Amino acid sequence: MSEVVKRYYDDQVETEWARLETPYRRLELASTLRLVGEYFPKDGRVADIGGGPGRYTVELLQLGYQVTLVDLSEQAVAFAREKLEDLDLETEAIHCADARNLDLLETSSFDAALHLGPMYHIVSAGDRRDALRELHRILKPGAPAIVGFINPWGVLRAGLTEFPSFYAEYEDAATLLNTYYKRGEQAAFTESVFLTPPEAIRELRDAGFAVVTRAGVEGFASGALDPINRIAESNPSAYEVVLRLAAETCESPAYRDCTEHLHVVVRCLK
């Protein structure tokens, strides 16, 4: 994971904290928490790897888990410490560390993990293997994890509302199906790697994980940024229905492979 990514998140701490509160991005939050409720144990130790300013850490703590937060960004980690103190929530630990090297965490010591972020910012396949190897190492045998990816099949559709000018030229639009985007390109917020569902699943299996299920966390509402914003503003009760249905449909075969955020639920094989 490059210094480019670290600097980006150092500069985007408050934006990243607020991101999951916007109407469209709340779909991701709702679906992820549904997956946690369905596939995580009811209690235990959870590692939030790439947890940034701690938005998911807060949710996990409020659900009663013992949580360790790890993130690459020093600014995000500092923000998380302050925010959790303000909320009177206490983690087991907060570390500033790279997902490729989790030496601070003991082997086979976690009952579950969130791993949202590292896999779409580590552009080298070898480095992604290292990150997954570390995730595998810290989990207990059979423990679940939710691993996040950005899916180019979903980005192609989401771009129609999020960056429509990209479709002015075929050559530009077709690059959305490419794997790698560098900082400054219109379709990527920072240095990123986009993996299709088959590519993501192959990397997870090669790292020794059993795939339990996968979810397109925007569900049936994927790509509908503008309509979702309008509904949330004009009819909040209807928006809550959309939010619930998006979470309920996130594992549906009709939607799970064509949303921009792909979450794969895995179990650790030892």
Tell me the sheet residues that pair with 268: 209
Lowest mean pLDDT, pick from 144-158, 168-182, 192-206: 168-182
Higher pLDDT, 140 or 124: 140
Give burial (CB, 10 Å; 0-12/13-18/19+) of 184: exposed
| Close Cβ partners of 158 (under 8 Å, ≥ 6 residues apart) | 218, 222, 223, 225, 259, 260
Let me know if domain 3-268 sits in CATH 3.40.190.120.
Answer: no
Spatial separation of the C-alpha atoms in residues 222 and 224, rounded to whole Å = 6
Residue 182 has pLDDT above 70, yes or no: no
Confidence of residue 8 (pLDDT cuts 50, 70, 90): confident
Residue 187: predicted pLDDT: 47
Confidence of residue 231 (pLDDT cuts 50, 70, 90): very high
Structural domain boundaries in the chain: 3-268
Residue 197 has pLDDT above 70, yes or no: yes
Residue 173 has pLDDT above 90, yes or no: no
Closest CA to 57 of 23, 25, 95: 95
Residue 260 has pLDDT above 90, yes or no: yes
Q: What is the pTM of this model?
A: 0.94
Residue 202: predicted pLDDT: 97
Chain segment 42-89, per-residue pLDDT in tens: 999 999 999 999 999 999 999 999 999 999 999 999 999 999 999 999
